[in-house]
Amino acid sequence: MNTNSNIYTVIYTTIIVVIVAAVLAFVAMTLKPLQDANIKAETISQMLSAAQLVNDSDLQKMDNKSVLAKYSESVRTAFLINSKGAKVRELNTEDGSIELADNLKEQNYNIKGAGEPNLPVYVFDKAGEEIYVLPVYGAGLWGPVWGYIAFNDDCSKIVGAYFDHSGETPGLGAKIKDEPSFREQFKGKSVDIAGTKLFAIVKGGAPEGATGAVDAIAGATMTCNGLDAAINTWLSAYKPFLATQMGASLSKECDGSCGENSGDCCGGGSCNGSCGGNHQCNR
């Protein structure tokens, strides 16, 4: 065959492209289990950090196998719930077959109305106390932001948090992950499930004594706004579950003192019926 002909060039190029494509496909298939293992270990590391079960410096020294073993050792149960807070199914927590619900982007769409969400709940044991870890996911300035917030046994207090991102600005928005002092602010805080906003990341600083707010990162307004929205969107979806754990109700009863105008019922909520009776107030 004439090596200077167009036919030879086309055949040669086609063969090279096919070979390269086959090699790349083989490499991708070979590396996928390792990549999946790294992603699973990283996700679990973030949950363990949020739950204050392992500090960040120790996590950095642990290999994937150790991280998975620590998870199986520490987790009591893991399960999915629906929008009403009802359990849908259990997630496998045994070492060697750990199952995570890491499709947070898809669930974010479902929370916003695309479908019925299946929200993960991870329950860890810390010195005999149950720690509930819930994920959050949303949009930062340059890409998605996500993380995990850990609550005490009745979900009345936050015991820790961990946040991550895909491309926020180093030294600014990236501090949601890189700055431990930002995450430390969440410890001891609480969420207001009866309020219109459950939690706040406040530009310029949270009000002194605020139980449901933390200071935003200076110079990272868009990232903090995105994380704020992610936290409120996801924790709002978890409201029925959180209310059950807190032993609280998402509605209050009329106490008979709200007068004739149902709009006055329970401090501004509307009443399911005439005020003065034992009717629930929509808030």
Mean pLDDT confidence for 135-139: 98
DSSP letters for 195-258: SS-S-EEETT-PPTT-SSEEEPPTT-HHHHHHHHHHHHHHHHHTHHHHHHHHT--SSEE--S-S
Model pTM score = 0.79
Cα 78 to Cα 88: distance, rounded to the nearest angstrom: 11
Q: Are 10 and 3 in contact (CB under 8 A)?
A: no
pLDDT category at 27 given cuts 50, 70, 90 is: confident
Condensed to tens digits (0 to 9), the pLDDT of residues 82-116 reads 999 999 999 999 988 999 998 999 999 999 998 99
Q: Per this entry, what is the length of the chain? A: 283
**What's the Cα-to-Cα distance from 200 to each of 46, 68, 235, rounded to whole Å?**
21, 33, 12
Among residues 134, 109, 118, 133, the alpha carbon closest in space to that of 86 is found at 118
Flag whether pLDDT at 282 surpasses 60.
no
Give the number of C-alpha atoms closer than 13 A to the C-alpha of residue 122, restricted to the C-beta side. Answer: 28
* Residue 189 and residue 76 in contact, taking contact as beta carbons nearer than 8 Å: no
45 to 70, 121, 157, 245: CA distances (angstroms): 9, 16, 21, 25
Place 9 in a pLDDT band, splitting at 50, 70 and 90.
confident
Lowest-confidence segment of 34-43, 159-168, 203-212 by average pLDDT: 34-43
Helix, strand or coil for residue 15? helix
283 three-class SS:
coil
Supply 168's token pair: 């926020």
Write out pLDDT tens, residues 220-260.
Answer: 999 999 999 999 999 999 999 999 999 875 654 444 444 44
Q: Helix crossing, 239-246 with 221-237: angle to 10°?
A: 70
Alpha helices (H) along 92-219: 104-109, 175-178, 180-184
